[in-house]
Structure 1
Amino acid sequence: MSAPDSPHLPADPATLAFLARRQSQAAKLFTDPTPGRAELERILAIALRTPDHGKLEPWRLIVLARPDFALLADLAQARADEIGADPETAEKGRGQFERARLAVAVIFSPKASTKTPEAEQFLSAGALCMNLLTAATAAGWGANWLSGWPSHDEIFRARAFGCTPAERVAGIVHIATPGNALPDRPRPDPARVVQWGLR
């Protein structure tokens, strides 16, 4: 009989060490180059190994490159003008796309299901974003999971990504060459946020 703390699968110390030091890079500091198509396809295939609640696949992905970002920046500015956004808000919406090099938009696309609530499907889309972030970082690239106010605007996401009213942007994961490494931010204290048992 195995000891209580022994793993059922072989331990992978290298992966644990990677996860212990993983941190997002600042997308505004990204530079060229970006992953080529073959490498990006491998990263995407790894990212798609995410919990999807019975093969529902409640998401779709859009790979975005330079020409796409020019269009997205224009759409964000047009939407900012329509809603009367202040200059700082408009720049934040437009600037994310103006500075971008390569990104993957993860679109939450819920499926009709009697077994899986929509909230759990949305969590699957978030898990896909995290898988994508982790896979890109493990491949040696800078990766940053962003969204920005335009992504939460129903009119913008319909114009930009062809989203139906039921769809939402779970995240936009930017991938490129990282800039200078930033100091790690303070992390949550397990003693403060972890409860062991119900009593």
Structure 2
Amino acid sequence: MSAPRPPARSGPVRVGVLGTASIARRRLLPALAACPDTRLVAVASRALATAEEAAAPYGCKAVEGYGALLARDDVDAVYVPLPAALHAPWVRAALTAGKHVLAEKPLSTDAATTRGLLALARDKGLVLSENVMFVHHARHAEVRRLIEDGAIGDVRAFHAAFTVPRPPDGDIRHSAGLGGGALGDMGVYPVRAAL
């Protein structure tokens, strides 16, 4: 039996952010604040001072602790930019709290966990989405059009490489315990391009 959908409400989606990662500060917080369809309500961090620093430019609430943000009644959806190994527990907690979720890639560190999170979202009638903006780039639509029109012939092979400057020593991307590693962080780009 599926849980009932949360009641529909009008107005912008009220968003809380679980964490203050660089991607959140550089890209998502400004985008959420600028979008008329969203209202940035709160930013949470393990340390209140960090949350205050991230929230201040947007005039939203700073919250100490991710659980405290999920307990807020004025948050409809959350964005999760935490290290990959923390995505699954906090995505699960957000869904359980009745919040829609946008999580940074990878959604989780293994397929079985991802399937479980998707099932939970479906059962709760909530949106769960992985933040992979790359696949929406206009170049992919153009390549798809060229293939469908036969402009390049039959596709028989695909070769791709994706590189970025090496993160500094100590960066979370080097920590297997936090879900770091090349495939989940950067390998997703050529794999998704192939798909």
TM (normalized to structure 2)? 0.23
**TM-score normalised by length of structure 1:** 0.22
Higher relative contact order (CA 8 A, sep 6+): 1
